A and B are shown apart, each in its own frame.
Chain A
Amino acid sequence: MKKHIEGRVWRFADNVDTDQIIPAKYLVTGDRDELAKHAFENVRPEFAEGAKDGDVIVSGGNFGSGSSREHAPRALLGAGITCVIAPSFARIFFRNSINIGLPLIECEIDAADGDILNVDLENGKIANKSTGVEYTFPSLPDFLMKLLDIGLIENTKRKLGTKRSG
């Protein structure tokens, strides 16, 4: 996972639900690249084609509400999204994202479509290069930072290893 991100903004409003991120009819695969082809299809049809590696999402509150589908953060990773910034996240989306290595930042910022952001995950800083405004955010608790870093799969393998040798 990258600790320093420079990316172009896709701006969304409040209460972006996981049905918007990836409509249920595409939930017949877990493949992130396949899912990415349909990300935001109903609400931002230009997203799937237009999203580039390194882009970031800036949203209003309660991002990722609704269904537990891990397909949602997988679709965003598949589309090249490097982090999501919002004042709050729905809890299952939050867990899913951390588990599979998509950084989420709880912070309310002013940013418009196409703005360029500099994000420093380690030191909790965001700079909107397009507006010149800077923001700070509290970093995740150590446990979650570690989980984000190594991923749930590796974390589980280590846990199982400890159990087996113990």
Chain B
Amino acid sequence: MGMTIAEKILAMHAGRGSVSPKEIVDATIDYVMVNDVTGLPAFEVFEEFDATPICEKTVLIQDHYVPNKDVASAEQAKSMRNFARRYGIENHFDVGRGGVCHQIMIEEGFAAPGRLIVGADSHTCSYGALGALSTGIGSSEAASAMATGELWFRVPETQKFTVEGELGDYVMGKDIILNIIGDIGVSGSLYKSMEIYGSAIVLLPLSDRITISNMAIEAGAKCGIIPPDEKVFSYLNDRVIGDYSPVYADEDAEYEDTFEYDAAEIVPMVAKPHLPENVAPASEVDVTIDQAYLGSCTNGRIEDLRCAAEILAGRRVHPDVRMIVVPASKSVFEEALREGLLETFMAADAYVAGPTCGACLGGYMGVLADGERCVSSTNRNFIGRMGHKDSEVYLANPAVVAASAITGRITDPGDI
């Protein structure tokens, strides 16, 4: 019997000819990543092992609360620096040298087709867009993986999603994944692997594919894998670390379920509070906003900034709205600077800041007050996610964020 991509990658890394869904296997991981929030508990657990980490497989990225938001987060960030120094871990991306962890994992060539990557951050599933099986884990098991280079995995059932046709103007990867989550619900892929196919996906730039894989976790999935093609190979050409071999599903692979979508029917969407499944067309949601946030591992790449800048060029952010733009990495920031995008944002009265996850999880750099509403290019709109428990987050693509920032209410970019 044939295997899906997730089954094949797990079988290869478990030294097995084949594996079946629901089996539990021990597999060798290619990389394990922690950030400054999940790192500290991992380092504390690691000390109990009386071991040294496998340095070349360990990646440490400061992104959630750096530059340090307070003394406690400063101590947390320091623990990562100390861990990196103590064991001589070279893959340590500190302030001014990196950015949002998933963007760094991709830019720096850790993520590649066929790899098995774990990270103590739920959006580790992002690298599925490059054909990797990557998934979120906890801090203790990240420590364990650093020490042993292995981890247990339950082989997931796989669901097949196909999106055929051409997307309309201002319709992006974000709208595809919001559409899927709206359809199957926030637990529609619980424990499962999503495999995503179709002519609309082939046409998508890598950046939009990363948005789709990034939000697989919002349907509960273990991973969201897109079969890698020439766009992925050429992106990796001058950046990938080591060799890689692309993995594709067998023709007779067994899927638990299949879902088909017509790209032409997908419109710019928003996910209303307080679940990513609570979706509606942006054109049908009539609410005012106080903040517009453009950034994060979901939609903080150069392509996202270009899209928003094009809409904001020559216009101003509504006087009642604060717009915050946070490029996802140093290199995205540099490129946006070179292309004059940051100038466009600032001319429109947007606030531009260096890379951090801060606002996305209500940490700092854009926390919402009681009753405030934010349209956000991020991935979660849970209760209190970006601040006060009675604040609200509307998830949307970068074009909707930019259009809404201008009008002061949720707006379909086609309407301005």
Residues on A close to B: CB < 8 A?
15, 17, 19-20, 23-25, 27-30, 42-43, 61-62, 65-71, 74, 88, 90-92, 95-96, 99-100, 141, 143-144, 147, 152-153, 155-157, 159-160, 163
Contact = CB atoms under 8 A, between A and B. Distances in A.
A160 to B, nearest CB: 6
21 contacts: A17-B382, A17-B383, A19-B361, A20-B383, A25-B362, A28-B70, A61-B187, A62-B186, A69-B38, A69-B138, A70-B139, A70-B140, A88-B190, A90-B187, A90-B190, A91-B190, A95-B137, A95-B141, A152-B144, A156-B144, A157-B50
Contacts of B141: 95-96, 99, 152
A69 B51 CA distance: 24
Contacts of B37: 24, 27-28, 69
Contacts of A65: 186-187, 220
Contacts of A23: 362, 384
Given A71-B41, A156-B49, A28 B76 contact: yes
Contacts of A153: 45, 48-49, 140, 144
Interface in B208-252: 217, 220, 222
B38 A96 contact: no
A91 B222 contact: yes
Interface of B: 24, 37-38, 40-41, 44-45, 48-51, 64-65, 70, 72-73, 75-76, 119-122, 124, 136-141, 143-144, 147-148, 150, 152, 186-187, 190-191, 217, 220, 222, 275, 361-363, 380, 382-385, 389
B275 to A, nearest CB: 6
Most buried by A among B75, B362, B363, B385: B385
Nearest to B144: A156
A43 to B, nearest CB: 6
Contacts of B144: 152-153, 155-156
Contacts of B44: 30
B-side interface mostly = mixed
B41 A30 contact: yes
Contacts of B191: 91
A68 B121 contact: yes
Nearest to A99: B140
B41 A68 contact: no
A61 B196 CA distance: 25
B87 to A, nearest CB: 15
B69 to A, nearest CB: 9
A91 B148 CA distance: 22
A24 B137 contact: no
A24 B275 CA distance: 17
Given A28-B73, A99-B141, A160 B147 contact: yes
Contacts of A99: 138, 140-141
Most buried by B among A61, A66, A100: A66
A19 B382 contact: yes
Contact of A42 (B40, B152, B389): B389
Nearest to A151: B140
A28 B38 contact: no
The 9 closest A-B pairs by CB, nearest first: A30-B41, A28-B72, A96-B138, A42-B389, A70-B138, A62-B187, A24-B361, A68-B122, A68-B136
